Amino acid sequence: MVGLIKPFEYLLVIILQNSLMFIEDQALVVQFKSASTKEAAYTNLVKKYQEKLYWHIRRMVVEHEDANDVLQNTFIKVWNGLASFREDSQLYTWLYRIATNECLTFIEQIKRKSVINFDDIAEDFSNKVKADANFDANRLEWKLQVAIQQLPEKQRVVFNLRYYDEMPYEEMSQVLDTSVGALKASYHHAAKKIEEFIKNS
Amino acid sequence: MKMNQKNTLLVELKSIAPMVASINNKMPQQLPLGYFETFAEKILVLVKQQSEGINDGNELNDIAPLLNQLSRKPVQSLPQGYFESFSLSLPKQQSTVVKMPLMRKWMTYASAAIVASILVTVGFLYTDKSNLSFDYEQYSKINISSAINNLSEDELVNYLNSASSLNVSNATIDAELINEYEGNFRNIEDDEMLQYLNENGEKPIKKAS
C-alpha cells in the first residue's frame, strides 16, 4: 500500500506542477489581451522564458550576437502573435516552436548568402564553437558542442530539446510537428553519431 | 518530478550512447554580464517602436548616414505671432438658392401627360382590330358538311396545298398526321362540332335550322 502511494504522489505532483504552469501561462495570455495589462504581461512572459529560449537558440546558431538577433526576432513575433494565440497547445511549446523556426530560417539565410553546402555549414558552425574565448578542446563539454554541430539541423534540434531542455517527446512533437516515433528515432541516431564523433576525435 | 524526469532521460541516453550520458550537460559558453537583466526592457522598446512605426534611424544609417546627423528642425522663419492671430475668414454672403417657379413645374407635368395620352390614343386607333372579333353567330348559321360537299375537287386540292404550306408556330407537321386529322374531321358530326364550338366559343351558338 505504501509502495503505491509514492508513485501516486509523484503523479499528483507532476499534474499539479503542469497545471500551475498552465494556469500561470493562461493568466499571462489573458493579461496580454487586455490593453491595460498588455505590456506588464509581455515583460513577465519575456522574463520567464528568455533564458530557456536563448540557450535553445544559442545551441543552434552558436554565436551570442546571432543568438541575440534571433531571440529578439522570436519575441517580436510573440508580441505580434500572442493576441491570436489559440491555446490549443501550451504557450511553452508555442514559444519553442517560434524560436526553432527562427533558428532554422536564420541558418537557411546563412546558406543562401554564402552558397555553401551542408558539410561546409557544419564545418562553419564547428569553427564558431572553437572560436569561443573559453574553448577547451580537452574538455568533453566542448567536444560535445563541436560534435552536435556535425548533425543536420533538424536532428540537432531534436537532440538539444531532449538532452538539454529535457522535453518529453509528446511536447517535442507539438514544437516540431513530427510524430513521436520519428523523434525517438532521430534522437537515437543523433546520440549515436555524437558518441561516434567524440570517440574518434 | 524533475529528478525523476532527469533519471528517465539518463537511463534512455545510457542505453543509446553511454559516453554522452556521462558528460556534464551544462553549456560551456559564456554570456555577457547582465544580459538577461536588461533584455526584457530592450525588447519591449523594440516592439513598441515597431507598433508605432518609429524609425530609430538605423535605416537611414545604411542609406545616408550624414542625414541622420542633421537636425530636423525647420530653418525657415515665421512672422511673429502668426499662429496666435491666425483665424479662418469665412465669406458672409451665402449663395442664393434659385427655386423653380411652381407654374413651370405644373406646365412640365401637363405637357408630359398630353404627350402620353396622344401616344396611347394613336396606338389604340391604328391597331388592326379586325382580327380580334369573331362573329360566332354568322358562322353558326353555316352548315359545314353541306358547304364542304358543295366545294369542287379543285377547290379542295388548292385548299389542302395552301394549308400544308402554312407555318404553324414553327412546328414541322408530319404529312401523315395531316391526313389522319383530315380523316378524323370528316367523321365528326355537325352536332358534335357545334357542341365543341359552344363549349369553347365566347358567345353561345344556336344550331342552324
Reported as a single tens digit per residue, the pLDDT across A71-130 is 999 999 999 999 998 877 789 999 999 999 999 999 998 888 776 665 677 788 888 888
Q: CA A22, A24, A29: angle at the middle one, nearest 5?
A: 90
Out of B41, B67, B93, pick the residue that ends a domain: B67
Please tell me the distance from the alpha carbon of residue A117 to that of residue A110, in angstroms, as a whole number: 11
Using a CB–CB cutoff of 8 Å, tell me whether A64 touches chain B: yes
Please tell me the distance from the alpha carbon of residue B27 to that of residue A163, in angstroms, as a whole number: 11
Residue A34 and residue A92 in one domain: yes
Cβ–Cβ below 8 Å for A134 and B29: yes
Residue A110 and residue A177 in one domain: no
DSSP string, A78-109: HHHHGGG---SS-HHHHHHHHHHHHHHHHHHH
Chain length of chain B: 209
Encode pLDDT of B65-117 as tens digits. 666 566 666 667 677 877 777 766 566 666 677 776 778 888 888 999 999 99
Shortest Cα distance from B80 to chain A (angstroms)? Answer: 43
Query: Mean pLDDT over residues A18-31, rounded?
Result: 83
Q: If you ran DSSP here, which 8-state letter would residue B1 be given?
A: -
Shortest Cα distance from B56 to chain A (angstroms)? Answer: 16
Residue at B176 is within a domain:
yes
A166 vs B5, B23, B29: nearest CB = B5
Burial of residue A32 (number of CB atoms within 10 Å: 0-12, 13-18, 19+): buried
- Residue B186: other Cβ atoms inside 10 A: 9
What's the structural domain count of chain B?
2
Can you give the residue range of the structural domain that contains B153?
Answer: 136-200
What's the structural domain count of chain A?
2
Contact A61, A67 (CB under 8 A): yes
Query: A50, A81, A85, A91: which is closest to A67 by C-alpha?
Result: A50
Residue A44 and residue A58 in one domain: yes
Contact A54, A69 (CB under 8 A): no
Shortest Cα distance from B49 to chain A (angstroms)? Answer: 11
Out of A96, A115, A134, pick the residue that ends a domain: A115
B40 vs A14, A50, A145: nearest CB = A50
Residue A8 and residue A63 in one domain: yes
Burial of residue B34 (number of CB atoms within 10 Å: 0-12, 13-18, 19+): exposed
Question: Among B6, B23, B37, which would you mutate to test the A interface (most chain A Cβ atoms within 10 Å of its Cβ)?
Answer: B23
Residue at B115 is within a domain:
no
Residue A111 and residue A12 in one domain: yes
Q: Which grid cell sits at A182? A: 520519428
Residue A85 and residue A129 in one domain: no
Please tell me the distance from the alpha carbon of residue A88 to that of residue B126, in angstroms, as a whole number: 80
> What does the pLDDT profile of chain B (209 residues) look like in tens digits?
567 778 889 999 999 999 899 888 888 888 899 999 999 999 999 999 887 765 454 555 555 666 656 666 666 767 787 777 776 656 666 667 777 677 888 888 899 999 999 999 988 887 755 555 555 566 666 677 777 778 787 888 887 777 655 554 444 555 565 566 556 666 667 777 777 677 665 555 555 55
Query: A91, A86, A88, A122: which is closest to A194 by C-alpha?
Result: A122
Residue at B149 is within a domain:
yes
Residue A176 and residue A194 in one domain: yes
Residue at B165 is within a domain:
yes
Contact B25, A163 (CB under 8 A): yes
How far is Cα of residue B200 from the mean position of the Cα atoms in its chain? 45
The pTM of the full predicted model, rounded to 2 decimals, is 0.59
Out of A65, A82, A115, pick the residue that ends a domain: A115
A163 vs B25, B44, B46: nearest CB = B25
Can you give the residue range of the structural domain that contains A73?
Answer: 1-115
Residue A54 and residue A125 in one domain: no
Helix%, strand%, coil% for chain A, nearest 5: 80, 0, 20
